[in-house]
A and B are shown apart, each in its own frame.
Chain A
Amino acid sequence: MTDTITLPLLPIYLVDFFGSTLMIIMSAVACYYARRLLRLEPKNFLWTFFFWLTTTVMALAVSRSLWHLLRYIFILGGLNSVWRALSPYSGSVNTIAFCVAAAVVFYYHNTEKVVATVQRDAESLRQAHLKLAEAHTELHQLNLTLEERVEKRARELRLSEEKFRGFFEGSKDMIYFCDAAGRFCDINESGLRLLGIERREDLLGQPLAEFFLDRERGAQYRALLAAHGQVKDFEAEFVGREDGPLSLMITAATLTDRAGATQGYQGIAKDITHFKKMMEQLVHSEKMTSVGQLAAGVAHEINTPLGIILGYAQLLEEDFAEQTEVHETLTIIEKQAKICRRIVADLLNFSRQTLEHNKLYGDLNQCLEEVLAIVNHTLNMDHIFIHRCLAENLPKTCFDNERMRQVFVNLLTNAHHAIGSEGIIGVWSRWYEESGQIEIIIGDSGSGIPPDQLGRIFDPFYTTKGVGKGTGLGLSVSFGIIQDHNGRIEVKSPPLEPELVALDMHTTFHIFLPVIAEVPEKE
């Protein structure tokens, strides 16, 4: 006998009755909200799932709860048999509702994965679209400002190019670029002018080393560049210009790439030809001044005893009858003393120590004509022809006529000696209005002067003539006289001007004198 317990069924009935009623109502409310959600966002898959879930739950609730409620009605109404007949239908609908609800849930479970994948893809697409939109916006902005940016950059580049091109082309110094092999890649106009080349194309590709007058110096330049990557104030003489060698001071550097490999060379070369010539002239002038001072001192000291010797010799001559041996000896002493006095006078002339300067306003052409008239006969005897080309518009200037005649005579005599016989002596006078200078050129068709002697011909007592034929003071005196007139004298052997070369001139002396206006004489 097992123990039993008796429990009332009424609580179950009550809970079942009210619970069923509430389930019908609440499932309907849930279905209403799901329907509302679906209307608000019809494309939302989750709401669709909720709608079908709540619909099946409502079907379940209605089928179950309604049947439970009907059961009470049928039982209370005494229709138990009817209830028993319909009960299986309720259970069947319930079962179907369960299955449908479960199927809906599983459907969501599987579809959710697909939807999640699609949503991920959609999100990726959305992000890509956003990025694309941003890129499009940036591109659009870039397009809008691209032209402006390009124009601005082009303007900056143009300005930079103009600036450096202006510096490159406008420089008075030679600026050049060479490749790694040392061949010209580019050069400015000044460089072309200095090297005496008209077209840039003719120079490009030529080795820089070939323009060095001294090949060893060129090799030294390249060795320094290779060793140090740069050279500074490297002096060298270049060939190329028509009026002689070109003295250049080069500052150059090696161009390298990021790896350090030599790509080429760039350099600036300054023309110091004129500077060097000026320096040489200055040195020469200083030398001549020193020599002149020395000569003046010597001449001054000699002049007094020489005057005494000459004076006493002349006095003694009067004491002895002519044709006597003593008188003859005294005459020789007087003659030699006079030669010495002339030499002393020449020395004083050279050193500008002469006392009297008789500069008058006159015509240099006329002075030149007078000298030519004097020497013409002598030159004709040696079959030397004089070619004269005197400027008609030569202005008058102040000069010491006698001393200038001495200069001309010296130069013409030298020309005569250089030619010997049968030749041409050329005489030109020119007027340079812009510089206010007169140029007198005296040239000859002689043998010319060797280059090593060109620097010494104005030195006192320097002569190439034989013993007794010259004192070596002619050009020195001429130099002094011209300097005394604030001018300068130069020698070219051979001359540079084609006109002079065409006349077979081998040596030319160029005298430059300033035009000095007439000074009214004081009463």
Chain B
Amino acid sequence: MKKHAFLLACGYLLCWSPPAWAVQVHGDPEGYLVHQMGHLFFIAALVSLLCVLVKRPPGRGTPWRHLKISLTLFLLWNIDTTLVHWLVYRLPGEAFLFAGGSLLDDRLVLPLAGRWLFYYLGSFDHLLCVPASWFLILSLRGFCVEATGRQNQTGVQAP
């Protein structure tokens, strides 16, 4: 009950809070920069984790290999999305030709340049993050199988 009340209070304050002029106002580009920094932060974390897994592997076997593939794909996905975010911020407003309700007719008019073609292709970012999630599932499932096997053998230490 208290938990729900707390969440409602938080939601109210977030949505309908009056302007607090006493504090600094964060403008439009700040959200974009914070988001990009979040991506970079995540990229750094993934690189760091991959380095750890390569240099000091906690274990060996298929699940670990799947985990490394998954992290690599997530890393590529983050790089891709970071670049796409960077490019979309630089697109001219007239590049998007929205049909006004019909998604079939929406077009993207881009200057004939490589980065804009990369933008278009990079927008298919789910082609990276979905396989990354799939390999993450495979990895975790493999760990589950191994852990279940260990459960059947008493006295065996987990990695």
Report which A residues bind B (CB closer than 8 A): 2-13, 15-16, 18-20, 22-23, 26-27, 29-30, 33-34, 36-37, 40-41, 43-44, 46-47, 50, 54, 57, 61, 72, 75-76, 78, 88, 91-92, 94-96, 98-99, 101-106, 108-109, 112, 116, 126
Q: Are A2 and B111 in contact (CB under 8 A)?
A: yes
Q: Are B112 and A105 in contact (CB under 8 A)?
A: no
With contacts A40-B144, A41-B158, A102-B45 known, is A72 near B103, CB below 8 A? yes
Q: Are B106 and A18 in contact (CB under 8 A)?
A: no
Q: Are B45 and A9 in contact (CB under 8 A)?
A: no
Q: Are B129 and A91 in contact (CB under 8 A)?
A: no
With contacts A6-B109, A7-B120, A54-B140 known, is A101 near B133, CB below 8 A? no
Name B15's closest neighbour in chain A (CB-CB): A89
Q: Are A105 and B108 in contact (CB under 8 A)?
A: no
The 8 A-B pairs at the shortest CB distance, nearest first, are namely A19-B126, A33-B140, A105-B45, A98-B38, A102-B45, A26-B133, A3-B112, A95-B38
Task: Count residues of chain B with CB under 8 A from any CB of chain A.
Answer: 53
B51 to A: closest C-beta gap in Å: 9
* 21 residue pairs bridging A and B, Cβ less than 8 Å apart: A2-B112, A6-B108, A8-B108, A15-B124, A15-B127, A16-B123, A19-B126, A23-B129, A26-B136, A27-B133, A30-B137, A44-B147, A44-B159, A47-B143, A54-B136, A57-B136, A88-B31, A95-B37, A95-B38, A112-B52, A112-B56
Q: Are B110 and A7 in contact (CB under 8 A)?
A: yes
Name B39's closest neighbour in chain A (CB-CB): A98
Q: Are A4 and B126 in contact (CB under 8 A)?
A: no
**Residues on B with beta carbons closer than 8 Å to the beta carbon of A37:** 140, 143-144, 147
Q: Does B79 contact A (CB under 8 A)?
A: no
Q: Are B158 and A44 in contact (CB under 8 A)?
A: yes
- Which residues of B (109-159) have their CB < 8 Å from a CB of A? 109-112, 116-117, 120, 123-127, 129-130, 133-134, 136-137, 140-141, 143-144, 147-148, 150-151, 157-159
Q: Does B49 contact A (CB under 8 A)?
A: yes
Other-chain residue from A99, A108, A109 in contact with B41 (beta carbon distance below 8 A): A99
Q: Are B144 and A36 in contact (CB under 8 A)?
A: yes
**Residues on A with beta carbons closer than 8 Å to the beta carbon of B112:** 2-5
With contacts A47-B143, A95-B38 known, is A5 near B130, CB below 8 A? no
**Residues on A with beta carbons closer than 8 Å to the beta carbon of B136:** 26, 30, 54, 57
**Residues on B with beta carbons closer than 8 Å to the beta carbon of A26:** 130, 133-134, 136-137
With contacts A9-B103, A12-B124, A41-B147 known, is A34 near B140, CB below 8 A? yes
**Residues on A with beta carbons closer than 8 Å to the beta carbon of B46:** 102, 105
Inter-chain CA distance A9–B102, complex, in Å, is 11
- Which residues of B (1-47) have their CB < 8 Å from a CB of A? 31, 34-35, 37-39, 41-42, 44-46
Other-chain residue from B31, B48, B52, B144 in contact with A91 (beta carbon distance below 8 A): B31
Report which B residues bind A (CB closer than 8 A): 31, 34-35, 37-39, 41-42, 44-46, 48-49, 52, 56, 58, 96-97, 101, 103-104, 106-112, 116-117, 120, 123-127, 129-130, 133-134, 136-137, 140-141, 143-144, 147-148, 150-151, 157-159
B132 to A: closest C-beta gap in Å: 9
**Residues on A with beta carbons closer than 8 Å to the beta carbon of B116:** 5
Q: Number of residue pairs across A and B with beta carbons under 8 Å?
A: 159
Q: Are A116 and B127 in contact (CB under 8 A)?
A: no
Q: Are A106 and B45 in contact (CB under 8 A)?
A: yes
Q: Are A13 and B103 in contact (CB under 8 A)?
A: yes
**Residues on A with beta carbons closer than 8 Å to the beta carbon of B159:** 44, 46
Inter-chain CA distance A99–B40, complex, in Å, is 9
Other-chain residue from A5, A15, A33, A105 in contact with B137 (beta carbon distance below 8 A): A33
**Residues on B with beta carbons closer than 8 Å to the beta carbon of A75:** 101, 103
Inter-chain CA distance A224–B101, complex, in Å, is 131
B15 to A: closest C-beta gap in Å: 9
**Residues on B with beta carbons closer than 8 Å to the beta carbon of A10:** 103-104, 106
Name A36's closest neighbour in chain B (CB-CB): B144
**Residues on A with beta carbons closer than 8 Å to the beta carbon of B107:** 6-9
Inter-chain CA distance A46–B140, complex, in Å, is 11
Other-chain residue from A76, A92, A103 in contact with B101 (beta carbon distance below 8 A): A76
Q: Are A98 and B41 in contact (CB under 8 A)?
A: yes
Other-chain residue from A22, A41, A95, A112 in contact with B126 (beta carbon distance below 8 A): A22
With contacts A98-B41, A102-B41 known, is A7 near B108, CB below 8 A? yes
B80 to A: closest C-beta gap in Å: 13
Q: Are B147 and A22 in contact (CB under 8 A)?
A: no
**Residues on B with beta carbons closer than 8 Å to the beta carbon of A6:** 97, 107-110
Inter-chain CA distance A96–B41, complex, in Å, is 11
Q: Are B38 and A94 in contact (CB under 8 A)?
A: yes
Q: Are B42 and A102 in contact (CB under 8 A)?
A: yes
Name A105's closest neighbour in chain B (CB-CB): B45
New A-B pairs, 9, CB < 8 Å, besides A4-B109, A7-B120, A43-B158: A4-B112, A5-B117, A9-B106, A19-B127, A33-B143, A40-B148, A41-B147, A61-B133, A99-B41
Inter-chain CA distance A72–B159, complex, in Å, is 45
